Amino acid sequence: MIEPVLLRPIGDGQYEMVSGHRRKRAFKLAGIEKIPSRIVELTRDEAILAMVDSNLQREVILPSEKAKAYKMRLDAMKRQAGRPKKENSVPVAQNFGKTSRELLGEQVGESQDQIRRYIRLNELIPEMLELVDEGKMAMRPAVEISYFPKDRQEDLYEAIRYLVCCIFNLLL
């Protein structure tokens, strides 16, 4: 294992796993009971940021996973920016007048518009989001559909399914 799992103390001798859930599962499947870990004092928001960073390091990450990760990270960044300064710290969203979305974009190598698009995917019904994850629907149309009310998204999904079935039957 290259990186140990990350834990944070939550009181009464208890710990919360911040990152490393897949590594833990792999160790368990291999029959190994002990896993290298690192314990770090983190606030809830710091733990969210660390977890999201860890997940974004994976080679393959689905659009739905990026959407959730970016939203969680952006929300945590905004909460941190609203807190009083700790000694020797810089508020996240006040870095040279940049928005949290701009800062997040710089950190993950995406434009702030692309960050917005990914976060918007969280408004899709699960069936539509699955189409995006499977590469059956492109990002831009998915983002536009995300503005539809949920019942309209469901109707559209059923129409798409019906048309796909009709086309498939014609090809047979």
Give the pLDDT confidence of 109-119 residue by residue, as tens digits. 889 899 999 99
Amino acid, res. 26: A
Examine the pLDDT at 75 and tell me if it is beyond 70. yes
What is the pTM (predicted TM-score) of this model?
0.66
Rounded to the nearest integer, the mean pLDDT of the chain is 84
Residue 58 · residue 20 · CB < 8 Å: no
For residue 53, tell me if it sits in a domain. Answer: yes
Examine the pLDDT at 54 and tell me if it is beyond 90. no
Q: Where do the H-state alpha helices sit in the chain?
A: 21-29, 44-56, 63-81, 100-108, 112-120, 126-133, 139-145, 150-171
Domain that residue 110 falls in = 44-81+94-123
For residue 87, tell me if it sits in a domain. Answer: no
Distance CA 48, CA 52 (A): 6
The confidence score (pLDDT) of residue 165 equals 84
Examine the pLDDT at 89 and tell me if it is beyond 50. no
Based on the domain organization, do 139 and 170 belong to the same domain? yes
For residue 17, tell me if it sits in a domain. Answer: yes
